[in-house]
Amino acid sequence: MIDLPRSSYYYRSTARALNLGDAELVAIIEEIQDELPCYGYRRVTHELQRRGHLVNHKRVARVMRANGPGDQASQAVCSHDR
- For residue 60, what pLDDT is reported? 94
Distance CA 21, CA 10 (A): 26
63 close to 79: Cβ distance less than 8 angstroms: no
32 close to 49: Cβ distance less than 8 angstroms: no
pLDDT in 10s for each residue of the chain, 82 residues: 678 998 988 887 766 556 788 899 999 999 999 999 899 999 999 999 999 888 899 999 999 999 866 555 555 567 665 5
Distance CA 35, CA 48 (A): 13
